Structure 1
């Protein structure tokens, strides 16, 4: 009931490469390896359009040799952090406690506060915790996240009377697939866009044998422009991490220097498409005249986004070839999904707005706004300001392009009661299609609950899987139990799967 309500309220792709993996394992036999890929921003319509125009590509091979789920939804809110948390835990923010990469906890204290003063602080696990955000290595050594994260920039909390630093892996409230695989003796590895994705170690702090992160918000060498300001720089950023996965397929660690077993569970995210959707024009290193985003409501990509889609298709082909070359193709399940979509697709609806009025909400504590807004009031005087805050938001509907103001009572039904839970926002504001809160030049964003935010690509492919398009509505939370079942483990070992009764993806033969 809660999941259904949340889906209504706030609101693919089996990977079998073009070379077609060998059907060496009988249906029902667990796989030795699972390769999990997130192509951030990729919608189901992007896949359908690309396959139609590139029938010999890797994405086409996936749809021709695996399961394609064209009606797959990511979390609401559709931010990167809860989007990937869903895939690896099987849980929504209701049980994971993760609403955004930049959020608020009513029991935490600010970094450097020594737990003094009133509790309740912003909690951001992104580039902000790097030792040096300007550097690609985050100021440390890739492959060693503890050298890249500055503990002085992390929030703190009282634990048994002791002021304790909250590391990213301490934040998620439930265990994940990497931890389960590790407990069964399997090797695990992942690569992502910030060292803060160390949170994939899970509450145990031990989920990943090999975590390789580069900083996406670093500066392009010789410029004052971030990697996200160039189509080419973002492709290069992704390709550096593709090489990490190929090292691991070769029986090496992420850096390619130490011999290690091929991981039982490994993967990475791609950022190229997401940047292609958001970046309006050419940046450093790009050919002149490229434009990002879409040309029309049918999701026809403009030249900059088209290059990013071509790159990802080629990179997937590179990974599939490496599986084959290292004799892993007959024992590996591949899952391609997306942490989030991107909005708007139809550029004619694009409406950039300033989110500053949210900071004037009575009793204001913190908010985050991309193409939705999550608002927390100061916990100390929350009750006396609730009515005034609700009234202020209702009066701001036209100014802020608000579609709906979700109140504490509604959020208690969809997630948890913000009066009792330290993480659930006091209000979530959805927006009219096309509204993006920005003071810069981006032409799209994610984080909201509109259709193009939540509609994502999802495919599953591997030996023993027969090609099929499954039109049933599915959620990315279903990836986690499916991965464990594929490896021969009980999905009930995931706490979120038990709490939310998360089902495996339909149509899989194992």
Structure 2
């Protein structure tokens, strides 16, 4: 049967509309107050950006760093190929090496922490950062332990570098912030919750995580949060202040 567009019907009141079968349908704007009293809103973000203050920005091209590490490796190991097989560097450094031995990872760690790198600030003026822009490097088994996986797991990077605050690895001068690292500004985001009946303007200073949003939604819908496997495994709690709902 062909669908007929909704239209006014002489037997329908002013707040209803005739549907495709000439049935009277409620006006979607007539119960706004009811929806407001029964709708919860949760606003957050999957990650932050760093640095939040442009004055702290230190752009550092990572290509010259990778090239220098590869050159140092081949100089120390004649006949060897490039050591860095794959990299993803934003405001963190994650490298996978062609030689996945602990010795190779330690070689890279030592090089990164003992060599400066050139970059530029928010205005594009040249700067120099120490230790390749890093504060700490997890190499080989250290990286596996950081990510909570066995050393034999090929997914973990051989090198995981924690950047100095404000460092963003980029070859240009356009970026003003990045994400993907382990900095405070990367990993801390606001969570705004509006729930009917909840006191307005209340601030809860307890440590929470965005993983708590999913079980909170289930609780607000009257469903069991522990129906989620991740909640069962990680014992994720509903957001504080909402447990009574």
Q: TM-score band, normalised by the shorter chain?
A: 0.5 to 0.7
Structure number with the bigger relative contact order (C-alpha 8 A, sep ≥ 6) is 1
Q: Is the 8 A contact 2:106 2:140 kept in 1?
A: no
Question: Among 491, 495, 506, which residue is 2:225 paired with?
Answer: 491
Contact 2:106 2:139 in 1 (8 A): no
Query: Contact conserved, 1:411 with 1:418, CA < 8 A, in 2?
Result: no
Q: TM-score, normalized by length of structure 2? A: 0.66
Q: CA deviation at 1:399?
A: 5.1
What are the ranges of 5 or more consecutive residues in structure 1 without an aligned counterpart?
Answer: 1-321
SS in 2 for 1:328: helix
Contact 2:105 2:159 in 1 (8 A): no
Q: Do the aligned partners of residues 456 and 413 (structure 1) sit closer, same or farther apart at CA in structure 2, a change above 3 Å counting?
A: same
CA 1:376–1:495 in structure 2 vs 1: closer, same or farther (change >3 Å)? farther
Aligned to 2:148: 416
For the pair 1:353 / 2:71, whether they are aligned, the reply is no
Inter-partner Cα distance in structure 1 for 2:154 and 2:221: 35
Is 1:472 matched up with 2:242?
Answer: no
- The equivalent residue for 2:91 is 371
- Residue 476 to residue 399, structure 1, CA distance change in 2 (3 Å): same
Shift of 1:354: 0.3
How far off its partner does 1:470 sit? 0.3
Structure whose CA Rg is larger: 2
| Counterpart among 36, 42, 49 of residue 329 in structure 1 | 36
Corresponding position of 1:342: 49
Q: Distance in 2 between matches of 1:364 and 1:330?
A: 57
- What CA deviation, in whole Å up to 9, does each residue of 1:262-286 have, x standing for no partner? xxxxxxxxxxxxxxxxxxxxxxxxx
User: 1: CA distance between counterparts of 2:224 and 2:159?
Assistant: 37
Offset at residue 331 of structure 1 (A): 2.5
Correspondence 1:452 to 2:185:
yes
Deviations 1:240-273 (A, max 9, x none): xxxxxxxxxxxxxxxxxxxxxxxxxxxxxxxxxx
> How far apart in 2 are the matches of 1:420 and 1:492?
32
Tell me how far 1:336 sits from its aligned partner.
Answer: 0.3
Higher helix share: 1
CA contact (8 A) 1:333 1:460 kept: yes
- The Cα shift of 1:332 comes to 2.0
Gap runs ≥5 in structure 2: 1-28, 74-82, 117-129
Q: For residues 443 and 399 of structure 1, do their structure 2 counterparts lie closer, same or farther at Cα, with a shift above 3 Å needed?
A: same
Q: Distance in 2 between matches of 1:494 and 1:395?
A: 47
The answer for the alignment partner of 2:9 in structure 1 is none
SS state at 1:421 partner: coil
TM-score by length of 1: 0.34
Instruction: Classify 1:366/1:466 alpha carbon distance in 2 versus 1 (closer, same or farther; 3 Å).
Output: same
Query: Would the aligned equivalents of 2:113 and 2:132 in 1 still touch at CA under 8 Å?
Result: no
Map 1:75-474 → 2, pairs under 5 A: 325=32, 327-356=34-63, 357-358=65-66, 360=69, 363-378=83-98, 381-383=99-101, 385-396=104-115, 398=130, 400-417=132-149, 419-440=151-172, 441-467=174-200, 468-474=202-208
